[in-house]
Structure 1
Amino acid sequence: MKKLAQFTTKLICILAALGWSMSAYGQGDNKARPLGSTSSPYGYYEYLPVDYNSNSNNYPVLIYLHGLGEKGNGTTQLGDAIKHGPQREVTNGRDFPFIIVSPQTDVWWSVDKLNSYIEWLKKKYRVNADKIYLTGNSMGGISTFDYVNKYPNQLAAIVPICGENKRLSNSCNITGVKLWAFHGDADPTINVRKSIDAVNAYNACNPNPLGKLTIYPGVNHNSWTRTYDGSAGHDIYKWMLQYSRGSSRTSNQAPTVSAGSDKTITLPTNSITLSGTASDADGSIASTTWTKVSGPSASMSGASTLS
């Protein structure tokens, strides 16, 4: 009995070790990818959905950008990259239908380097390129706006938290990307006005749907924990997943133009006025031009007007 007990104890220890190994390195868990261990320009943490290795599907991707306090070397300090954000929720036992990645930078986020990383992700993983989402808090929230201002065609939706859009004048060029911003109204680090101005400028361009802004009363700079864990009652993950890149855009409709009814003249009458119409259901008419397409020589006046 003594020998059997010893054997059983050793077997349990071995299985426990195997179980830990499978949990730590299988899909459905966070896995560290230190800088230099892959060809990625960043060290990062990776999360793969639990069914990733059981099919050949392409998956949505959620990219999280950390704040200033989580900067690091991408190797020994990489754990700070998931101190906050969606992958903290993975650590707490939550599963997601996204591929989630949390890169780490040791300087302010470079949007060009970040774009290289996104292109790298498309080659590394089975990515649904129409469902790439970007979120971040503080420095990461500002950089989320920085990135979408330069590369709006890469993303389907963004969730900047306590961020700022430093290029408000560019807002109409990013309305193809869905926006939901969050901020605490008692934030002493980045004033809530920054998110208000960003969403107002975005909505002034009449996007469909309008950008959303959630302000937490009495909340200071940490408006991200309650947003990422959903404890404030908002499901940003479900919201993002409903959108694909360019999903609210419609194809351009051609303008409707008419030269009016047919006209006939008989010499010696040698002039006539033609009255046309022009309209554009999803835009405006910039200019009109009459052009003779056949027949004998004739002179036209007012060729750039409707008459």
Structure 2
Amino acid sequence: MDISVVIPLLDEQDSLVELHDWIAQVMQSNRLTYELIFIDDGSRDDSWSIIKKLNTKNPSVSGICFAKNFGKSQALHAGFEKAKGDVVITMDADLQDSPDEIPELFRLIKEENLDIVSGWKKKRYDAYFTKNLPSKLFNWAARKISGLKLHDFNCGLKAYKKDVVKSIEVYGEMHRYIPVLAVNAGFKNIIEKPVAHQARKHGKTKFGMERFINGFLDLITIWFVSRFAKRPMHFFGLLGVLMFIIGFGFAFYLGLDKLYFNPTGRLIAERPEFFIALTTMVIGTQFFVAGFLGEIVLQNKNNKERYRITDQTKP
């Protein structure tokens, strides 16, 4: 199979038939074998009924229905597990992503031997102050923190080599950072392609301003996990040692001052430096213990670590 198209959705009953017909026409005109996987993320309208009807009409259509709204990351993860195509393409169900982009995305992955082609909505048809401007700020911060030079992390239209989606685990709200997760898994051939963006025809967006706040928090999480997940002592231990040294320095200063320079002055426990020394030494010890416990947890994990082999010799 050439392509798996994975489409997460929530309450998109008015768009599904048109989107299916558009994708099917593109695939047939380009002679591509495909499967179309809809993931209904707890819709409260007739989306699932429409997906079942499309499945009856077109055997290339399949669907997964969640019991409730679990989020886009979980929907994508379920679709990635089910996907069988050589190239996996994700897109939104609101008709703002154009299926006409699919053949070129497929060609880039296959002929250029790329791991990911990430869509870039260079010209957007969204409200400027509520979506475009916050998105620009978010993408700027994401580029600076992640080191991945993409203009549009939030674009739902992306193409992946099959090995990529089978090697990563999308959780929480990490769907924005799948390219970053892929880089952490050893996939380096990532490019960005400008794609057509269209005004929403039906319904309304399911994401509010809180997605940008959550996005920044997730970005910090992924930065920390990518750098210190395998070596927590390098982070917590370093902070702990620094805090302990600061506290010990204050305590040493207080001791010397009391013994040699000001023996008749205030008691050590009455000086503010004493509480600084005590607090920083306690916090430093806690940081160090946290790093030590993190190392123990890593050493005793029962699950085997995922890894990617690029080549191996024959026995």
TM-score by length of 1: 0.32
Which protein is bigger by CA-based radius of gyration? 1
- Give the number of the structure whose residues are more often helix, by fraction: 2
